[in-house]
Amino acid sequence: MIRVLLADDQSLVRAGFRALLDAQPDIEVVGEASDGEEAVSRVRELRPDVVLMDIRMPRLDGLAATRGITGDQGLGGVKVVVLTTFELDEYVFEAIRSGASGFLVKDTEPDELLRAVRAVVGGDALLSPGVTRRLIAEFASRSKAPADHPGLGGLTEREREVMALVGIGLSNDEIARRLVVSPLTAKTHVSRTMVKLGARDRAQLVVLAYESGLVRPGWLG
């Protein structure tokens, strides 16, 4: 059972998401929160698998709440998906850097929301290739001088290559075709790279690829 917490200051939005999610045989909404402070408190209490987190909330916004959750080592298994009204919301980029596993627009199709919840729990890429590339382009426009990451030295050449391909927005299937390996092998390389670098998910691996200079702006191809 996938356990979900809903954090949004609009009760109608929470009710809509709850109705959709609770109707699934493998998903259960275990709690709700109407602001960021309550969201962090409820996550610590309920330990859900996924938090659907609105960005704009009273008392504590979704960005700060996300940092509070992802920065707590005791909540390492909790995935945060931020919700926004617009795909290019100015806070989405910072949410990813704060540890969110991805983001969705609030008017996303029901099937896409369900797919996203299941995908993030399974450790797969949450963001569609198009959204991922927009995120990467945004990161590239803001990126600073490369910084050394202590974990890079522990990567094999193949893992560095895979990390660079993740960094330019390729899916596991696309990486497999590029390297002429099976999709399972590509996924294994991605997973091992994440473990070695301490990345919570694929989105953070993209950020690390840019911050370390392994991928540079202009490589979107």
Residue pLDDT, tens place only, 6-28:
999 999 999 999 999 999 999 99
What pLDDT is recorded for position 145? 57
Cα separation, 34 vs 25, in Å, equals 26
Cα separation, 187 vs 122, in Å, equals 12
pLDDT in tens, 149-203: 777 888 999 999 999 898 877 888 889 999 999 999 999 999 999 999 988 777 7
Structure-token pair, residue 157: 């050449």
pTM equals 0.72
Spatial CA neighbour of 143 closest among 70, 200, 40, 220: 220
Cα separation, 112 vs 124, in Å, equals 14
Cα separation, 215 vs 203, in Å, equals 14
Lowest mean pLDDT among 95-104, 122-131, 142-151: 122-131
